[in-house]
């Protein structure tokens, strides 16, 4: 919404949320999320044509276009628990929109939702009295965290799904007009609502599948002495495959990939497409295997016993340049280590407060340290979980001196200079490459 406000000065954008602390934070110099460039972007339009409010009813009443961006986490209870999307916030919002609308509205699905959810929203909106017309569009968001501002400014494509009716086309055109303020027309795609909804799930499933594919090969590389980075480079130069999203890692995290794949799996199961469901579910299974394999490698490298050893977890965010820890592989790894009675020290430049919440039930088994040097002091091993740029330039000689010997580094992101570290004395365990050890 901040991007729309800054690119479209002729539109008035009002962001409403029931959480007053968040609404307050959005208007301060400490936004509720960390995202490079976002603070500056919000400031550009704040109180000019970008407003924040807790008055949801008024926001609905006054709007011509409503972007619904409520969260749709995986259900934790009842039918479809662990796979289906929890749509209670979504349905509540639909009812709220209906209750407060006195003029026609375009309602845009921005949250990622299972295919055919727009239909459910339409049914709610059009139930009972029919004096107000609602046109529901699907406009999924493809930005990635950490690069959100750049992605919004220069998207590969904008997708707008609508109904092939007269009013559906008009609504689609109204939304195209907004994006066309800064996105070239040929990158704005209009499709049916269902294609748009499915494309969002499919895009995330394909991206995650690439990571699981290269991660599956990383296991084979570790057994055969092939180097996964070399393999990725060699296959990525085939224009049909492409080079991006082929970095082997401890696993993918983030709020989208796992959730959207499980959503897709649930949907396929619902339609009786067992083989299709099983195919996509394997992407998630492979990711969990990769996380568990990482810890098993740590244990076996450290003489099959890690109890009472100190291990510093470098990075807790699911990727660099964000404080977000949702589905971060670091969560599973830290829990696994805590189970093995490791003294786990977590360090991260942006994600410590989220890490504390994620691991709250583990109490004193985990400690938190902002400074990576302090975190590493007295440790037997470092486990790099996030590819923060600053981890590449730390003084590892100093870190090595402060650690218990033999000192280990497990690089879950293949982001450090392994040869240098080895020469300093570290035993280095990358992903999908031959380990460099002195033992
Ligand atoms: C993703 C999609 O990229 C985006 O289009 C969608 O809108 C939301 O979901 P995001 O979750 O922000 O975005 O992060 P992304 O950059 O896709 O990374 C996801 C995870 O995969 C991270 O944990 C990242 O470290 C990991 N990853 C990514 C790899 O392990 N290897 C890679 O080659 C790329």
Identify the pLDDT of residue 106. 97
Identify the pLDDT of residue 74. 82
- Please provide the average confidence, as pLDDT, over all residues in the chain: 95
Portion of the chain with pLDDT greater than 90, in percent: 89
Catalytic residue among 8, 221, 256, 268: 256
Active site residue 256: yes
Please tell me the residue having the least CA distance from ligand 1 atom 27: 252
| Cα(255) to centroid(ligand 1), Å | 9
d(CA 251, CA 249): 5
pLDDT beneath 70, residues of the chain: none
Identify the pLDDT of residue 73. 82
Q: Among positive and negative, which fits the CA dihedral 84, 96, 256, 311?
A: negative
d(CA 315, CA 321): 11
Best residue among 256, 291, 385, 414 to mutate for probing ligand 1, ranked by most atoms within 8 Å of CB: 256
| Cα(398) to centroid(ligand 1), Å | 32
| Cα(252) to centroid(ligand 1), Å | 7
Identify the pLDDT of residue 185. 97
Identify the pLDDT of residue 160. 98
Three-state DSSP state, 77? coil
Return the ligand 1 atom nearest residue 140 CA: 7
> Which single residue is written with the structure tokens 């109904």?
163
Return the ligand 1 atom nearest residue 148 CA: 12
Who lines ligand 1 at CB under 6 A?
Answer: 141-145, 204, 207, 211, 245-247, 249, 252-254, 256-257, 318-319
Tens digit of each residue's pLDDT (9 = 90 or more) over 107-137 = 999 887 777 778 888 888 988 877 899 999 9
Q: In the 3-class helix/strand/coil scheme, how is 289-338 assigned residue by residue?
A: HHHHHHHHHHHHHCCCCCCCCEEEEECCCCCCCCCCCCCCHHHHHHHHHH
| Cα(319) to centroid(ligand 1), Å | 8
Identify the pLDDT of residue 199. 95
Identify the pLDDT of residue 85. 80
> Which single residue is written with the structure tokens 């690089």?
411
């Amino acid at each position: 919404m901040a991007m729309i406000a800054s690119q479209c000065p002729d539109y008035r954008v009002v962001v409403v949320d029931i959480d007053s602390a968040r609404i307050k934070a959005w208007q301060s110099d400490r936004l509720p999320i960390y995202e490079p460039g976002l603070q500056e972007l919000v400031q550009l339009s704040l109180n000019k044509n970008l407003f924040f409010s807790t008055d949801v009813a008024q926001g609905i009443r006054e709007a011509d276009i409503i972007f619904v961006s409520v969260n749709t986490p995986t259900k934790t209870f009842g039918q479809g628990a662990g796979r289906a999307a929890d749509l209670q916030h979504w349905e509540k919002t639909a009812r709220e929109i209906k209750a407060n609308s006195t003029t026609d509205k375009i309602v845009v699905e921005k949250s990622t939702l299972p295919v055919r959810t727009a239909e459910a929203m339409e049914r709610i909106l059009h139930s009972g009295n029919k004096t107000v017309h609602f046109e529901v569009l699907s406009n999924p968001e493809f930005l990635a965290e950490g690069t959100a501002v750049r992605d919004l400014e220069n998207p590969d494509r904008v997708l707008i799904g609508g109904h092939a009716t007269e009013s559906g086309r008009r609504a689609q055109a109204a939304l195209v007009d907004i994006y066309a303020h800064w996105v070239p027309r040929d990158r704005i795609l209009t499709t049916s609502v269902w294609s748009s909804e499915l494309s969002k799930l499919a895009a995330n499933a394909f991206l995650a599948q690439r990571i699981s594919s290269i991660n599956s090969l990383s296991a084979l590389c570790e057994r055969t002495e092939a180097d996964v980075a070399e393999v990725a480079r060699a296959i990525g130069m085939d224009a049909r495959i492409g080079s991006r999203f082929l970095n082997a890692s401890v696993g993918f995290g983030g709020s989208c990939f796992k959730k959207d794949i499980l959503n897709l799996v649930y949907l396929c199961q619902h339609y009786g497409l067992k083989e299709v469901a099983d195919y996509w579910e394997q992407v998630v299974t492979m990711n969990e295997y990769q996380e568990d394999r990482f810890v098993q490698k740590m244990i076996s490298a450290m003489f099959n016993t890690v109890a009472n050893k100190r291990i510093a977890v470098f990075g807790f965010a699911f990727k660099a340049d964000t404080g977000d820890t949702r589905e971060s592989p670091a969560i599973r790894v830290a829990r696994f280590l805590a189970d093995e009675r490791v003294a786990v020290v977590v360090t991260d430049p942006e994600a410590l407060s989220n890490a504390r919440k994620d691991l709250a039930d583990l109490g004193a088994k985990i400690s938190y340290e902002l400074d990576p040097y302090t975190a590493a002091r007295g440790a037997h091993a470092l486990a790099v979980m996030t590819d923060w740029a600053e981890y590449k330039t730390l003084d590892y000689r100093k870190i090595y001196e402060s650690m218990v010997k033999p000192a280990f580094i497990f690089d879950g992101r293949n982001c450090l200079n392994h040869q240098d570290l080895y020469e300093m004395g570290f035993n280095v365990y990358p992903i999908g490459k031959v380990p460099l050890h002195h033992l």
